[in-house]
Structure 1
């Protein structure tokens, strides 16, 4: 919620706070808000430390951030491990690499053909367009 605040929104909120609370009460409010934030962070850190100590030494490297649904899906399904390994499947299904290889092979064949024809490899030339007469076509021998 607070992470999607743009600088313009923060500026607007600070202007509204100055207008509503006044410049006298605003510094005291900011100090109390930062103190509350520090207290909440210390409670969270203490709870995390206590949970780690209760779980035992085999869970010392456990990251609580991995419990977030997005991180859980990314870790177990996309990045690999013992899960579905979707990243490997996506790599196997990606045809760009195969198309690049085919394109390189076709380029080599075209260069070889141009070399055999006496032209400089790598310079694909278009055939000269046919010239068409400007007047109407007709058959001289027709009766």
Structure 2
């Protein structure tokens, strides 16, 4: 839990003894225990309320599937970009020549490119 090992907890305990002192340490330890107990009761209460509101569907939900720690953004993007049945791409070409090709042809023939007075 939170990457705390026994060694780290021991160091935190020793620091707490020096900072708080041996007189106040039991009081703060009991407050910490009370806080943890209250947090557990709140989590259990929220779970019970959710179970009451969802009804029988609560047991059907796969909670491990909804765990946000399992999501890999790279995998999600990869799956979104890869399409199982690729559709053929058809290129639609306009009838006639493009404006660029027309300008190139007119320039080769020595004529001026068409100009629209109302466009500007």
TM-score (norm: length of structure 2):
0.52
Hey, what does 1:33 align to over in structure 2? 32
Q: Please, what is the CA RMSD of the aligned residues? A: 2.4
Return the alpha-carbon distance in structure 2 between the equivalents of residues 10 and 28 of structure 1. Answer: 18
Superposition map of 1:1-143 within 5 A? 2-62=1-61, 64-71=63-70
Return the alpha-carbon distance in structure 1 between the equivalents of residues 29 and 10 of structure 2. Answer: 15
Give unpaired runs (5+ residues) of structure 1: 78-83, 85-143
Deviation at 1:3, TM superposition (A): 3.1
Residues 23-62 of structure 1: CA distance to partner in whole angstroms, max 9, x if unpaired? 1100110101110111111011011111111112132343
Give unpaired runs (5+ residues) of structure 2: 80-120
TM-score (norm: length of structure 1):
0.44
Deviation at 1:68, TM superposition (A): 1.4
Aligned residues: 74
Return the alpha-carbon distance in structure 1 between the equivalents of residues 58 and 7 of structure 2. Answer: 43
